[in-house]
Amino acid sequence: MKSQAPSGILIVDKPENLTSASVVKRIKKFPEVKKTGHTGTLDPLATGVLLCPINQATRLSRFFLHGWKTYDALMVLGAETDTQDAAGTITRSLQVPPLDAAAIETAVKEFEGEISQIPPAYSALKHKGRPLYEYARNGQPVYKPARPVTIERIAITRVDLPEISLSIRCSSGTYIRTLCADIGHALGCGGHLKALRRTESSGFTIADARQLDEHEDLAAQGRLSESLIPMSKALGKIPAHIADKALTERIKYGKIIYLHEIDCIAETDYLKVLDPDENLLAVLYRGERGHPDRFDYCCVFHHA
């Protein structure tokens, strides 16, 4: 019998000057990869943690799309660009005034908490089926309405004017280049993002990541599984239940699973069911209104 292609989460340390889509395109060429994607775009300028679910794990993408992110950012004061980062064209230059540490700290801390952010015109957000950057490149920028994002923490790690280094923890959907442009505006001299590194995404850090070339080498040697975080471990915060043979069979055939059948339920919306070898059999969620006594199926997995 032909062995089943491995499934799990590939954690890539994305290199600079490569789009997230290009990373996915390269991963699709790995011998055992049938399906993949990513769970949060990084701009070409940026490096760092990019989560790429592989094969059956693509069905788990929803659990990583809205996770918290942490970034190391380098911003430059005194120049605004059309893309809000160093990849763009300078549209305005201003003198950087004398700024002491207290003034910078005060301006930066104003952006902590829930804020409204206007997505940049040069972004992959869609308008009438086309990404915004296509309109912007054609001289017809489209601006989406401001939307709420949450900045849990901004820490200033270095000041060497006109450059300021920041460590930022934020909600999914936050544009760090927009944040830098807004901080520059608040300081009265404009600014843009010069360099960005994502150091954490949905609980996975740079320490968990490998360079794309390393993943390619392992895949070429038939060792893709060594690169993957197993599906059951990737969902580390979801409570687990080890299924016996009877429950395994019921899940296999899509039978209804009642809450009273699971003896270790925590107060959680989701439950992962594992076999004795800790392979992920299914992710269940508490029944919708009208079925509070049972689980519904989020996704079911098959193992050779």
Confidence of residue 263 (pLDDT cuts 50, 70, 90): low
Encoded amino acid at 49, one letter: V
- pLDDT of the residue at 265: 57
1 confidence band (pLDDT: 50, 70, 90): very low
- pLDDT tens-digit series, residues 116-143: 998 887 777 777 777 777 777 877 777 8
Please count the other Cβ atoms lying within 10 Å of the Cβ belonging to residue 238. 18
The pLDDT, as a whole number, for residue 288 is 66
Do 301 and 231 contact (CB within 8 A), yes or no?
yes
In the residue annotation, 43 being an active-site residue is answered as yes
Active-site residue, selected from the candidate residues 43, 72, 82, 275 = 43
Q: Please, which residues have CB within 8 angstroms of residue 117's CB and are 6 or more apart in sequence?
A: 146, 147, 148, 149, 174, 175, 178, 179, 182
Question: Residue 155 and residue 170: Cα distance in Å, rounded?
Answer: 12
What CA–CA distances, in Å, run from 186 to 77, 150, 182, 183, 190?
Answer: 11, 18, 6, 5, 8
Q: Which tokens belong to 239?
A: 């409570």
CA dist 33 and 157 (Å) reads 40
Q: By C-alpha distance, which of 141, 132, 189, 139 is closest to 164?
A: 189
Q: If you average pLDDT over residues 261-266, what whole number do you get?
A: 65
Give domain limits for the chain. 8-67+203-233, 69-95+102-201, 238-300
Alpha carbons 113 and 168: distance in angstroms, whole number? 12
Across 90-112, average pLDDT: 95
Instruction: Evaluate whether 147 touches 175 at the Cβ level (below 8 Å).
Output: no
Q: Above 70 in pLDDT, residue 267?
A: no
| Equal fold, 69-95+102-201 vs 238-300 | no
User: What is the pLDDT averaged over residues 236-254?
Assistant: 89
Cβ neighbours, 10 Å, residue 211: 12
- How far is 192 from 75, CA to CA, in rounded Å? 6
Q: What is the mean pLDDT of residues 97-109?
A: 94
pLDDT digits (tens, 9 = 90+) for 21-68: 999 999 999 999 999 999 988 999 999 999 999 999 999 999 999 999
- Note the pLDDT of residue 77: 98
CA dihedral defined by 202, 203, 207, 212, rounded to 10 degrees? -20
Tell me the range of 11-20, 125-134, 285-294 where mean pLDDT is highest. Answer: 11-20
Superfamily of domain 69-95+102-201: Pseudouridine synthase (3.30.2350.10)
pTM metric for this prediction:
0.90
**C-beta separation of 61 from 173 below 8 A:** no
CATH 3.40.50.80 correct for 238-300: no
Degrees to nearest 5, angle at CA 203 with 169 and 280 = 155
What is the band of 99 on the pLDDT scale with cuts at 50, 70, 90? very high
Q: What kind of fold does domain 8-67+203-233 have according to CATH?
A: Pseudouridine synthase (3.30.2350)
